[in-house]
Amino acid sequence: MDRVEPLPLETNHPVEVTFVGEAPPGHGPGPYRTHVLGTAAEGLVLALPMARQRWVLPRPGQAVKVVYRDPQDREAARGLFGFVSAVAGARVEPEPELVVAWPRRVERVQRRQWVRIDLRLPVRIERRGDPAQVVEGRTLDVSGGGCRAQLSRPVPPGELVRVDLAFPGWAAQATARVVRVEPGDGPVVGLEFVEIDPRVQDRIAGFILAEQARRRRVLG
């Protein structure tokens, strides 16, 4: 593929990758958070993503979407950019790397805006470790992109955790990042879903829209 000039990505710049079509063995399609390691003749070199303490290792030729923010856009005024390309290579040794072929074009990315509502649901947080630590609590609000929850014990910001949400009659699981910890009575954390089955995400969004409609009917 022809390289787009300039491709405004620098070493260590964060990016998000989503695999299109067939997902990597043992994993969902993403999205996965990673960062730029450098460049090579065949493409952009990224750190190989990891999920649930396992490397996400796609096959060569796998279609992949890369989304990033322009590193020169300090105020985030220009939004997000992205491109669809193919995996040129992926390896664990000697260094875990994912090489994405240079794209033909880069486009602006329209992010889906998730509706958020106040909602109290049992939530179970599993922290990574040996053994894993389980923290329980209740959500304060929920959207298709994440939730706020009051927990029995604090969880530090930046940590990746497994989240289990107990909806009425069904459950949703996701990998989430703790994006903030709020002061107050009891630890309150903001969780952003970083790995979730799109069908589960759509089901959460559908539940929220139905709950909004139900509440409007109750209020008359």
Q: Is the peptide bond before 103 cis (omega within 30 degrees of 0)?
A: no
Give per-residue pLDDT as tens, 96-137. 999 999 998 888 765 556 778 999 999 999 998 767 789 999
Instruction: Decide if 31 contacts 194 (C-beta within 8 A).
Output: yes
In sequence order, which ranges of the chain are alpha helices (DSSP H)? 198-219
* pTM of the predicted protein model: 0.52
Please identify, among 63, 85, 109, the residue that sits at the C-terminal boundary of a domain.
109
Same-domain pairing of 142 and 68 = no
Per-residue pLDDT, averaged over 164-189, amounts to 90
What's the whole-number average pLDDT of the chain? 85
Q: What is the pLDDT of residue 4?
A: 37
pLDDT value for 44: 93
Rg (Cα) of the chain, in Å, rounded? 19
CB environment 98-116: b (16+ within 10 A), e (fewer): bbbbbbeebeebeeeeeee
Are 122 and 188 found together in one domain? Answer: yes
Structural domain range at position 187 = 117-219
Cα separation, 172 vs 179, whole angstroms: 19
pLDDT band at 6 (very low <50, low <70, confident <90, very high): very low
Pair (47, 77) in one structural domain: yes
CATH number of the domain within which 134 lies: 2.40.10.220
Number of domains in the chain: 2
